[in-house]
Amino acid sequence: MSLARFSVNNRVLVNMLMLVILMAGGIFAFTLVREFFPESRPDKVMITAVYPGQQPEEVEKSVTIKVEEAVHDIEGIEKVDSTVSEGVSMTTLTLYSDVEDINVVVQEVKSEVDALADLPEDVERVTINKLEPRLPVISVALYGEGSEAELKRAVKRLRDDLLLLPGVSDVQLSGIRSDEISIELKPLKLLEYDITFDEVATAIRGVNIDVSSGQLKGNRLTVSVRMLGEERRGIDLENIVIRSDPDGRKVQLKELATVRDGFVESDLESYFNGEPAAHCIVYKTPSQDAIQISRLVKAYVKGKLGATFDPFGFQQISQAPWYQKPVSTVGSGLTWLMTIVSGRGDPRTIYEQSASQPFEHQFQVALHTDLARFIEGRLDLMTRNGRAGLVLVLISLMLFLNWRVAIWVAAGLVVSFLGTFIVLWAMGETINLLSMFGLIIVLGIIVDDAIIIGENIYRHVEEGMPSREAAVRGTDEVAWPVCVTIMTTIAAFAPLLFIQGQIGDFMRVLPIVVLAALTVSLVEALVILPAHLSHIKTTSPSTNLSGWRRVLKSLAAAPDQLMRGRLQDFYERLLRVALRWRYVTLALAFSTVVASFGLIAGGIVDLVFIQKMDSETLMCGVEMPVGTVVSQTREQVKRVNDFALTLPEVKNVQMFVAMQMDIKGGGGAEMQSHLGQLILELKAADERELDDERSSDELLVELREFARTLQGVNSVNWDAMNGGPGGRDIHIKVSGPNFEELVQVGEDLQRTLDSYTGVFDLDDDHDEGKREMTLRLKESARPTGIDENRLGSHVRSALYGRESHRISRNREDIRVMVRYPEIFRESLFHLESMWIPTAMISGQRGWVPLHEVARLEPGEGFTAVHRSQRQRAVSVYGAVDTDVADSSVVLGRVREDFDRNIAPNYPDVRIEFLGNFEERTKAFGSLWIAFPVVLVLIYMMLAGLFRSYAQPIVVMAAIPFGLLGAIVGHWITGNPITILSEIGFVALAGILVNDSLILVDFINRRIRDGADPFEASVTGARSRLRAILLTTLTTASGLTPLMFETSFQAKFLTPMAVTLTFGLIFATALTLVIVPSLNLVFLDVKKLAGFDDQPDPGVAEI
């Protein structure tokens, strides 16, 4: 039994299936996890080792090199990169893209690192983690006047409250320092009492401890015994006895030191809008909904502040135009209902509870970095354009199909659309920008199979066949060709699953959505649609209709009369002329294709990786000379901060002193006193455009001009964050065995880049010049028992500190550090005047001045050391003005200049292009493989359908004309060709052959019936004109609203929509003329060659 007959004979079952799909799909459409971009697969492993108090070169030698040697040959690791700063070694392992399970690699790395037996004893911990990209959902800032302790208590209380919200499980604190108890020993007291740092630390550790001492087990009860000695406040440590002499004299800690219960010594400072601040940063897990989390956090904060709150948009609906109110009300109501039913937590309840308990602290509270706002905006954009596209598709169906058939085809569209959400839920996918875009792409495609089947069924009904039999026969006749058309489209999208790099991770969900939607639509067309059309009736002519009914009947018949009359007649006349002059027609057509590529070659249509967009976040990195004190860095960074706050386009400014985060380059942060950073959050791009305010590029021009007025800075770099995959415009990594050569090559590359037009913000990561004092032990120190270890240990304890132990307080591990007071750690004089304890000789210990046992040699050191593939490395960074130059062209010139002018002088040095260029190379390289694979898959399917090796080439001739349309479309709309455009080219190939397939098949059928090839081409093409125009019109209608969307949110995806829409329209217009002409030329060649010009009679019919 065929599927169509099963459908017709079991209409109740089919209708129940349809209802289940509609209900389940509707539920999942509102309850699937929503996020900005799809979760990308982690492909990096980070090894972090903490070696406190050690300089970068010592950490590199003692830790980093040993770790690299242990893990570099583990299977699956492509690159080993390390960054070494003061007291910290971070090694990043980049995995090959074909590594299936990163956890296996992580486990092997842990085994190798754990096996290292020669790491220094002072290395506190070595952690190994997967680097999983995480974006914050929303952040809450506490800022204003108050003590640091009060600010920390307030922000920790805020974090605890946020973690109580349903669905919120990951809140990180930023801008606060960890608690620390500092025991500051007075140098003269150490001499007076003959006590060392180690003795003080050991004494404190021995008495400030809780010890479980076992249990007393009796016949009737068990009693636990504990020794309590741990004090959790600094003031309680002052009475600890450090030493008891034989004469009964006791030396207490308060006699030797000042105990300060404060914070760790760090230069890091955090500000928000110019005032001291701390932040709660809320993250989501893969299973959590970003929009829901954001709503709950906003409900909590706005309730505490007493601000108005409208989580579902009901208040906004009252201000919306009348024609939007019904749809908006239904959407908001369903969102509220699904939130309640799914148990996610009602934001209104959270708001009411918070409003009854305002904040108890005096700090100001502000919400910022609300990335959920971008998600809502993009999903609203997709929904709005999808709704408009759906309306256009429905109008197209009603205009060119019988209204009864059009209604059931449209119903099938809704079933397929909602059924896709069921498949997405089953596959663990989410609702995001790419999945919604995929749904818009297939909006018009998923009705193509239903149009072909519905029209064929209705044709049989018009010829007098009973409707039930017409539904079965009409479906069976076209079932195989319909399956092939769906498979060719799937074949076009499937290779997109294998695009490499960040673009591949982001785009992976797009083909999944398309494949799911097309599969569901095929099931709907073959199983559900025949049951609905099995009771369709033809409209019998009636002459006694009333006036208004006659008018309605005429209006309903008008489109069909237009299609069957004037349009078909005009098309037939045009086609006859083209076929008579078929060789001239083909020559003209292919010359236009060649000319269209001239638009790219001539630079009329730009070719870029990702087009420039108006950003809503600006980043500023300020670098002072190495060794600059934090007060001077703060002064210069604050000048930029204050200027930025005067700009009307700026919403808020986050300022960090002594820190720079590498957000665009891949994460991580560098903590040095000479560094500073600003993060400027701008008004929404659409809001700035509406208020006639400046774009992010215009603001960057003014900000760069102001930055030139700063005094004593090494560099000020500005960058705009656009989100999504990418990287720095210029990121050149220089590596080799000789570090001095690397530094020189880095400087040569910067000079070379500086000579190029459009290149700016040049910098590198080599910061040499930090003042360093090296201690060299004198030979005269040997008799005293002072060796390098004793000398270095004492000096390190005095300046950095000796950790006594850690106590737990307020869910925080607090270090107890023994060191000199801060005043004795400020200048070289205090180092030179330090006294060093000798070794114990016959129970006696002496003290000698440091200058008598060691020489002090001044020098320069590094703030950080960078390594690549187990060698020292230097990276050169820069930005490119895309209005003037293209980064790929710039880097191509760099490679030529390096090979010609630099490499001959430094043969052991190699350069590697990373950042944007690396991602572009991966993505384009994958597409160069994907496109031929698509063509081969389509060819194989067509060859199987036509049972011919040559005729599939005729069908595939439409593909070049699609590229013609796509290029011309970018030229007309003023959009550059981006990586998404090229992905659209690949997908377009599968869509275009569908119309050609139908057209060639009908021509073949008439030739088999004995018609002259010329007349068969004319009549076959004329009979399929309506179906071809309708399938093209529905697909283009679904994408047209997005293509002409002016919103900032849509600009990222517009090039792909342009590719598909214009490519399909141009290809269809030319296909209707070129494919019959090319098919006739194909038959001419076969006749001249003496082959049978009759196509294989086994080919399926449509």
750-770, pLDDT tens digit by residue?
A: 889 888 888 888 888 887 666
Q: Can you tell me the distance from the alpha carbon of 828 to that of 799, in angstroms, rounded to the nearest whole number?
A: 12
pLDDT at 807: 85
Of all helices (H) and strands (E), which one includes residue 875? strand 871-880
Q: Percent of the chain at pLDDT above 90?
A: 14
- Summarize the confidence of residues 535-558 as an average pLDDT: 57
Most confident of 448-462, 597-611, 770-784, 900-914: 900-914
pLDDT at 644: 94
pLDDT at 281: 93
Check if the beta carbon of residue 697 is closer than 8 Å to that of residue 884.
no
Helix axes 887-897, 739-754, angle to 10 degrees: 130
Find where tokens 């201000």 sit: 319
pLDDT at 549: 54
Q: Which two tokens stand for residue 553?
A: 């009947």
Helix/strand/coil percent split, the chain, to 5: 55, 20, 25
pLDDT tens per residue across span 568-583: 788 888 888 888 888 8
pLDDT at 667 > cutoff 80: no
Predicted confidence band of residue 1097 (pLDDT cuts 50, 70, 90): very low
Give the 3-state secondary structure of 596-660: HHHHHHCCCCCECCCCCCCCCEEEEEEECCCCCCHHHHHHHHHHHHHHHHCCCCEEEEEEEECCE
C-beta neighbour count of 828 within 10 angstroms: 11
In 671-779, DSSP assigns E strands to 675-682, 715-721, 730-735, 759-764, 768-777
Three-state DSSP class for 127? strand
Which is more confidently placed, 645 or 1054? Answer: 645
pLDDT at 154: 94
User: Out of 62-76, 315-329, 785-799, 933-947, which region has the weakest mean confidence (pLDDT)?
Assistant: 315-329
- Summarize the confidence of residues 139-145 as an average pLDDT: 93
pLDDT at 653: 94
pLDDT tens per residue across span 261-299: 989 888 889 999 999 999 999 998 877 888 889 989 999
Domains of the chain are 3-36+374-538+549-608+920-1089 (1.20.1640.10), 44-130 (3.30.70.1430), 138-177+268-368 (3.30.70.1320), 179-209+223-263+770-862 (3.30.2090.10)
**Strand pairing report for 854-862 and 241-244:** unpaired
pLDDT at 1100: 40
User: Out of 308-312, 706-710, 748-752, 803-807, which region has the weakest mean confidence (pLDDT)?
Assistant: 308-312
Provide the b/e sequence for 584-616 (b: ≥16 CB within 10 Å): ebbeebbeebeebeebeeeeebbbbbbbbbbbb
Of all helices (H) and strands (E), which one includes residue 1038? helix 1025-1043
C-beta neighbour count of 996 within 10 angstroms: 28
C-beta neighbour count of 1008 within 10 angstroms: 15
Predicted confidence band of residue 564 (pLDDT cuts 50, 70, 90): low
Predicted confidence band of residue 538 (pLDDT cuts 50, 70, 90): low
Q: Can you tell me the distance from the alpha carbon of 235 to that of 254, in angstroms, rounded to the nearest whole number?
A: 9
User: Out of 88-92, 801-805, 878-882, which region has the weakest mean confidence (pLDDT)?
Assistant: 878-882
Q: How far is CA 449 from the centre of its chain?
A: 35
pLDDT at 149 > cutoff 60: yes
Dihedral sign for Cα atoms in the order 572, 573, 574, 578: positive
- Summarize the confidence of residues 1002-1031 as an average pLDDT: 80
Q: Say what the alpha-carbon torsion angle 626, 628, 634, 640 is, to the nearest 10 degrees.
A: -50
pLDDT at 646: 93
Helix axes 433-441, 403-426, angle to 10 degrees: 150
Predicted confidence band of residue 723 (pLDDT cuts 50, 70, 90): low
pLDDT at 546: 53
pLDDT at 1094 > cutoff 60: no
pLDDT at 554: 59
pLDDT at 389: 67
CA distances from residue 381 to 269, 512, 690, 993, 1047 in whole angstroms, order as listed:
39, 21, 17, 30, 8
Check if the beta carbon of residue 345 is closer than 8 Å to that of residue 292.
yes
Q: Percent of the chain at pLDDT above 70?
A: 91
pLDDT at 547: 56
Predicted confidence band of residue 1092 (pLDDT cuts 50, 70, 90): low
- Please list the alpha-helical segments (H only) found in 368-508: 371-400, 403-426, 433-441, 448-462, 467-493, 501-507
Q: Can you tell me the distance from the alpha carbon of 989 to that of 108, in angstroms, rounded to the nearest whole number?
A: 44
pTM to 2 decimal places: 0.79
Find where tokens 């989100």 sit: 723
Predicted confidence band of residue 1099 (pLDDT cuts 50, 70, 90): very low
Q: Which two tokens stand for residue 358?
A: 């305002």
Three-state DSSP class for 714? coil
pLDDT tens per residue across span 341-384: 666 778 888 989 999 989 989 999 999 988 888 777 777 776 77
- Summarize the confidence of residues 587-593 as an average pLDDT: 86
326 Cβ contact list (under 8 Å, min separation 6) = none
Measured in Å, how far apart are the chain's first and last C-alpha atoms? 20
Of all helices (H) and strands (E), which one includes residue 181? strand 179-185
Q: Say what the alpha-carbon torsion angle 328, 329, 332, 337 is, to the nearest 10 degrees.
A: -150
Q: Dmax over Cα atoms in the chain, in whole Å?
A: 131
Q: Can you tell me the distance from the alpha carbon of 942 to that of 946, in angstroms, rounded to the nearest whole number?
A: 6
pLDDT at 1090: 65
Local structure of residue 358 (DSSP, 8 states): -
Q: How far is CA 1069 from the centre of its chain?
A: 38
C-beta neighbour count of 994 within 10 angstroms: 26
Amino acid (1-letter code) at residue 468 = R
- Summarize the confidence of residues 702-730 as an average pLDDT: 81
pLDDT at 20: 93
pLDDT at 1101 > cutoff 50: no
- Summarize the confidence of residues 989-1014 as an average pLDDT: 78
User: Out of 231-245, 333-347, 907-921, which region has the weakest mean confidence (pLDDT)?
Assistant: 333-347
Give the total residue count for the chain.
1102
pLDDT tens per residue across span 127-137: 998 887 777 88
591 Cβ contact list (under 8 Å, min separation 6) = none
Predicted confidence band of residue 16 (pLDDT cuts 50, 70, 90): very high
Q: What is the mean pLDDT of the chain?
A: 82
Q: Can you tell me the distance from the alpha carbon of 186 to that of 442, in angstroms, rounded to the nearest whole number?
A: 76
Of all helices (H) and strands (E), which one includes residue 214? strand 211-217
Of all helices (H) and strands (E), which one includes residue 656? strand 650-657
Which is more confidently placed, 280 or 204? Answer: 280
pLDDT tens per residue across span 24-39: 998 888 888 888 777 7
Q: Can you tell me the distance from the alpha carbon of 716 to that of 637, in angstroms, rounded to the nearest whole number?
A: 10
Q: How far is CA 350 from the centre of its chain?
A: 30
Three-state DSSP class for 1003? helix
pLDDT at 916: 76
Which is more confidently placed, 873 or 990? Answer: 873
- Left if phi > 0, otherwise alpha if psi is -120 to 50, otherwise beta: which for 405? alpha
Burial of 9: CB neighbours in 10 Å, binned 0-12, 13-18, 19+: middle
